[in-house]
Amino acid sequence: MPAPSRTSSRSVRRWCSANAMPTISSALSTRRSPSSMADEATDEEAVGGTTASIFTPAAVEALKAFPIEPDGLELVSLSENVTYRVVDRHDGVVYVLRLHRPWYHTIDELISERAWVHALSDAGIAVQAPVRTRDRQEYAAVTIPATRERRFAGLARWSSGRVLAEVLRETTDSAIAQRHFAELGALTASLHDQAAAWRPPASFTRHVLDKDGLMGDAPHWGPFWDHRGLSAAERRLMLDMRQRLHATLARLDRSAATYGMIHADMHPGNVLVDGERLTIIDFDDAGWG
């Protein structure tokens, strides 16, 4: 695995995700408004060097709920979520613990994401295996002592391999890059095949990335066309693009062949390479689309 990062940049999220969790995203039933998400100043980034003292006590407490005996807890990264590497003292198995951000998904949405990850694993698709608590729950709820913030902690097996983005950066052989992208395309097709045939449980709920979920009045990731950094000319361009994309998406049907669960963030930073095996990680953004 690459050396753990200690930075708190927003870009770390993709590195952290690629080496950490495949699972769900966050915690509480409240969300930020779309406009605040579009303009967010990333409160997590502002935490900076105080991360260990703020979050580690909660991580230690959360681990008590899981069927492992941790021998050390290493902070891997801070971004939207806080991620730790954990080793079981009895068998040396490595896990990743994630304290999920308390505004992105409800607990029902988190549990639903895990339902899909379990189904993908059952279908033979390489994902990081989620680990349930001692009482068979998907998450353990913890409070951050310094802030009184409530978060959900999820545990999964740590997958071996290198981040595909790093592999691609380091190679000058186009044949290697082409092979990896062909493998990634096949992996994406496997996900779509599974999603087309899968029947989720009745309680399953995730966000929808359709014409309105992406380009509507209250899009899931916020109205990027209203970002405060845009000039007037840039905003006009974004609004025109929004209208065009909304119209294009509206023409798509919702058959099993064209609409279903998607990862929604499958870039090379969210794929691990271990020999000929590719593992998909970070299902934080997965939803209907």
Each residue's pLDDT tens digit, 62-83: 999 999 999 988 998 788 889 8
Question: Mapping DSSP to helix (H, G, I), strand (E, B) and coil, where does residue 83 land?
Answer: strand
Q: Is the predicted pLDDT of residue 141 greater than 70, yes or no?
A: yes
Full-model pTM: 0.78
- Residue 84 falls inside a structural domain: yes
Q: Are 249 and 241 in contact (CB under 8 A)?
A: no
- Residue 219 falls inside a structural domain: no
The domain of 137 spans 12-161
Q: Are 131 and 95 in contact (CB under 8 A)?
A: yes
- Residue 89 falls inside a structural domain: yes
Q: Is the predicted pLDDT of residue 28 greater than 70, yes or no?
A: no
- Residue 62 falls inside a structural domain: yes
Residues facing residue 151 across a β-bridge:
142
In total, how many domains does the chain have?
Answer: 1
- Residue 121 falls inside a structural domain: yes
- Residue 43 falls inside a structural domain: yes
Mean pLDDT in the chain? 83
Q: Is the predicted pLDDT of residue 38 greater than 80, yes or no?
A: no
CATH number at residue 152: 3.30.200.20
| Pairing of β 271-274 and β 162-163 | antiparallel
Each residue's pLDDT tens digit, 155-173: 999 998 999 999 999 999 9
For residue 51, the Cα-to-chain-centroid distance in whole angstroms is 20
Tokens of 70: 């941790």
The residue to which tokens 């409800």 are assigned: 106
